[in-house]
């Protein structure tokens, strides 16, 4: 038996804010989306490079306020990309942690915390 890739599900509440944050700000792309009917909650997959996230408006899928760590190859370049966008709701910085990583933490509009991280070489 082998475990495979993990796909986290994050709770979201507003389609426009979801797209503004994940696509417009973080630079993910929408891979696909689903609704059972036009006026029912949205469920979609977004991705960027090897990172895949599921975002759900369905109340039974997950709770808001999740936290996750996402490894990035060049955190300084990603930080510069986000800073350049001048997004009005988040201006993340980079923190050097006592455990040897460099982290950039940003909260989505729904209280989920995404920590982008890369390890410091020693």
122 has a pLDDT exceeding 90 = no
Q: What class does CATH assign to 9-119? A: alpha beta
Mean pLDDT along residues 35-43 = 95
The pLDDT, as a whole number, for residue 119 is 66
Sequence-separated (6 or more) residues with CB below 8 Å from residue 54: 7, 8, 9, 10, 43, 44, 45
Is pLDDT above 50 for 18? yes
pLDDT by residue (tens digit) across 74-89?
999 999 999 999 999 9
For residues 100-107, average pLDDT: 96
The pLDDT value given to residue 120: 57
pLDDT at 121 over 80: no
């Amino acid at each position: 038996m082998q475990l495979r890739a993990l796909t986290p599900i994050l709770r979201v509440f507003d389609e426009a804010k979801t797209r503004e944050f994940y696509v417009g700000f973080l630079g993910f792309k929408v891979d696909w989306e689903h609704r059972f009917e036009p006026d029912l909650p949205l469920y979609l997959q977004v991705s960027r490079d090897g990172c895949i996230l599921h975002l759900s408006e369905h109340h039974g899928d997950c709770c808001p306020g999740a936290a996750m760590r996402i490894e990035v190859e060049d955190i300084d370049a990603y930080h510069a990309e986000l800073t350049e966008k001048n997004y009005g709701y988040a201006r993340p910085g980079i923190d050097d942690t006592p455990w040897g990583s460099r982290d950039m933490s940003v909260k989505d509009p729904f209280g989920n915390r995404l920590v982008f991280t890369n390890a410091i070489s020693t």
